[in-house]
Every structure is written in C-alpha cells, then in structure tokens.
Amino acid sequence: MTMSNLANERADLSDRLRSLPSVDRVLSESALHEAHGRWPRQQVVEAVRAQIDLARSQIRNGGEASIAAVDIADLAWRALEAGLRPSLRRVINATGVVIHTNLGRAPVSEAAARAMSEAAGGYSNLEYDLDRGERGSRANHLESLLQALTGAEAGIAVNNNAAALYLTMAAYCHGREVIVSRGQAVEIGGGFRIPDVLRDAGATLVEVGTTNRTRASDYAAAMSRDTAAILRVHSSNFRIVGFTEEPSLAELREVAEQNANWVPTLLIDDVGSGCLLDTREFGLAYEPRPQDSIEAGADLVLFSGDKLLGGPQAGLLVGKRAAVDRLRSHPLMRVLRPDKAAIAGLSATLQHYLLGEAVEAVPVWRMIAAQPEDLRKRAEMWRSSVGAGEVESSDSAIGGGSLPAETRPTFAWTLDHPRPTEAARALRERETPVIARVEHDRLILDPRTVLPDEDSAVIEALRQLVGGLD
Ligand SMILES: *Cc1c(COP(=O)(O)O)cnc(C)c1O
C-alpha cells in the first residue's frame, strides 16, 4: 500500500467517524417515537448512545457499521426491546436429542402443562384437606399414584433426584457407612459426584469391588456394625462394556439381610431416569424401572421426574412405608419440597401412565416411539415447503443421562451450507430460537424432537435462512 493510499484511507476513516449522527439526531428518528412513550427518556438516550459508541468502535476496527441515523435508531429500539425479553425463553429443539439437559430436559404433556398453569395461577388445596376443612399435607397428592405405578408401599416427591439422594443419605447414613460398588461411585453430570454427595451429607463411602467387576461377596465382606446402607447407582450417562459384573438387586437384598442380625441395612437404588415403561419394546436397551427395583426388594428407590418419566423437575422416592415416612418427617424435607406447579404436573404425568396412554400423551415417549417412516414424511414436508435442503437418514439420541450410546433411526432435513455454524447461529437468534446440529459442515434438523405444532415455525425459519443465501 502506498503512502497516499494510507493517507486517503485515514481521511476516509475520520470522515466516517465525523459523520456519525448526534444523539439528538438519532432520538428524533421515527423508529424511536414509540420508545419515548414506553421507556424513561434517560434509558432511550443511553440506548442510543451505546449504539453510536458501538458504531464508532466498529468503524475504528475497520468494520462496516452504518452511520445512518435511521439504522442506529433501529438498533437502539431493538436493544431496548431485547432488554424486556425474559432470559428464559421457549426454544424449538431440532437436535434430535430427546431429553436435552441444556434445553430443559422433558417437555411435559399438554395435560401436565395445563395442570401446572392452573395450580400456579390460582389457589389450590396444596396443604388443605377439603373433606375436613382443615390443614392437609402436600405430600399426599402423589402417594397413591406412586403406589399404583410402582407397587411401593409409600412415595414422596422432592425438588429433584439429587435432592432425593441427599435427603436419603442425610436421614439414614449421617455418621455411618454406605457401601457402593467402585464402578458406581461416579459423576452423574454437571459436577454431581456420588462420593461428594455422600461426604457432604455426613456419610462415609465404603467402595467395594473394582471399576468393572463387583460381586455380592464384595459387599458382604464390607458389612460392619457401622453399615447404614447399600447404595446402588445406575450408570445413567456412561456404559462399561466387556468384562463386567454387578450383582443383581435381589442378591444385594440377601446381603443386606445378612447384616440384619446386628443392625438393619437399607437397600437403596438410585435408578436415575424414572422409566416406567419397558424400553426394550422401543428397540432400546433395558433401562431399569422403579417397579422392578421395588419387586426385587429395594427399601428405597430414587428417580427423576423430568427424564424418561417425562414430567416436571422433581425427585421421586418410593419404597417401604417406614423408610419413606422417616424421610417425610425429616427437617430437610422442608428445604427440598417440590412446589405446587411441580406437584400438579407430576400428578397429571403419572395419570397418563395409569391410564395406559403415556406413549401417546407424554412427549418424550411419543418422540421415542415415532417411526422413521413418519419422521421421513415430516422431513420431506419441511423440504418441499422450504424448497431446499435434503432428507437424509440419521440418528436421534435419547440424552439426558439416559440410555447412553442408544440411538433411534430417524430422517433429518439437512443443508449443505457454506458457513454452517453461522447458519446455526442465525437459527438460534430468532425470536423463537431453533436449535439445530452441525455435523461434517452440514446443518441438520431432526423432526423427532420438534413438537408437531412447531413445524410451521421451523419451516418459516428455514425459508428465511435459505432465502438469505441467494
Ligand atoms: C440424573 C441422575 C441423578 C440426578 O437427578 P436430578 O433429577 O438431575 O437431580 C441422580 N442419579 C442418577 C443415577 C441420575 O441418572
């Protein structure tokens, strides 16, 4: 670059900086007329000043910022609007991951959403006995449903499954020992580590066996006067394959009973997902079901409400009457109790299972059960409506720390895009964000996890995306 070129460019730069409009000039733009009635003047002024500053620094850095007052006014208006938008927003999950931990895990059924909204928007008999006209218990709303579905004598709900485990450890194992297989003293996700939870609740972890193989005799050898419980933790989010061995719950029941001569030893099973249906009927590996653990003799079975159960965030505890009642009256129960909306949503969700309609009514099961042929039709419908892209076979994951490495065959809408990560970002930045996958430089949207009433929003988003390419 010659000296004169450089000088010209500098002159051009300072020209552009000088031509940036004043705050007053931008404030008088019609794009901001409505803003003056909606926000305090100072806030509008600050929004304008911020956009002028942004344009200035973009120009200095060689960027392409517009210096037109009308454009800056428009950006300021959008920034003001964005400030009003709630941080937690509805998004469309086109990733094909059914229980997406980052996207709020399970969407609840229509009936559950309605029940939650009704409980939240009015008064309820949360802790009121309508029969007697006096104080009742919030713990009673779910018990009979949990009994009927799992065969347990008793059941309660808490804030989440981590809370269920913490409460159990604090109530039964404080100052005592808990025997856990070495292959199960794991991290569940998000830094939730079984050894840390036990230590924090005041329990002493006694690890037995090896990472890949633990036998009933290993547990038996570790039993002592200080043993409060045997804890089994389902390996929700990982799988050890090959030369492995873990005793069955029935075998652990026998081990626990052998200690009963001295002190009662509780058999606790954290099954993780709360899967009430048989996953093998859906072409998936077996995922432990709470009712199977109750039948095999567990004293307490713990599971999440918002994984394969498909309800709101909650932890459910079912088991022997005496074991559950002690948790019910523990002081921590007040700390960990679920709110009325969660109870209403859980109740509606559990009803679906009781009525045998879970596969149709509970979204996660409807998604898991969706047939590839039907998914192909939906992806084709997207493609013909958008007028671009391709339909290709792909895999959907179950996700959410359930059934690791298990996938279901699907058909996805895919697009060869010159800048796929930018395309994914454009979809995320929409008023209703659409979350897609990028694999091998291709944009991929899986209809399996898109709710049927979101189809038109996905098509509109893809049309605009593809339109922007021309
Ligand atoms: C997911 C999971 C938890 C934690 O459950 P949250 O509902 O997320 O608190 C605990 N144990 C197991 C085995 C899990 O899979």
Q: Is the pLDDT of residue 237 over 80?
A: no
What is the whole-number distance in angstroms between the Cα of residue 339 and the centre of ligand 1? 19
Which one of 101, 188, 233 would you pick to mutate in the ligand 1 pocket, going by the greatest count of ligand atoms within 8 A of its CB? 188
What is the whole-number distance in angstroms between the Cα of residue 305 and the centre of ligand 1? 10
Q: Which residues line ligand 1 (CB under 6 A)?
A: 160-162, 165, 188, 192, 233-234, 236, 270, 272, 304, 315, 401
- Mean pLDDT of all residues in 310-315: 98
Residue 48 phi/psi, 5° resolution? Answer: -65, -50
- 40 contacts: CB under 8 Å, gap ≥ 6: none
What is the whole-number distance in angstroms between the Cα of residue 436 and the centre of ligand 1? 26
Q: Which atom of ligand 1 is nearest to the CA of 271?
A: 13
**Higher pLDDT residue, 375 or 87?**
375
355/364 Cα distance (integer angstroms): 17
Q: Is the pLDDT of residue 1 over 60?
A: no
In angstroms, the Cα distances linking 315 to 17, 64, 70, 255 are: 58, 52, 53, 27
**Higher pLDDT residue, 239 or 357?**
357
State residue 402's pLDDT score: 65
Q: What is the pLDDT of residues 65-85, one digit of tens each?
A: 888 999 999 999 999 988 888
Taking phi first (over 0 means left), then psi (-120 to 50 degrees means alpha), and beta for anything else, what does residue 101 get?
alpha
Q: Which atom of ligand 1 is nearest to the CA of 400?
A: 1
State residue 84's pLDDT score: 83
Query: Which residue minimizes the CA distance to atom 2 of ligand 1?
Result: 272
How much of the chain, in percent, has pLDDT values that exceed 90?
A: 80
State residue 205's pLDDT score: 96
**Higher pLDDT residue, 178 or 211?**
178
From the list 139, 170, 182, the residue with the least C-alpha distance to 316 is: 139
| Number of CB atoms found within 10 A of residue 402's CB | 25
What is the whole-number distance in angstroms between the Cα of residue 21 and the centre of ligand 1? 55
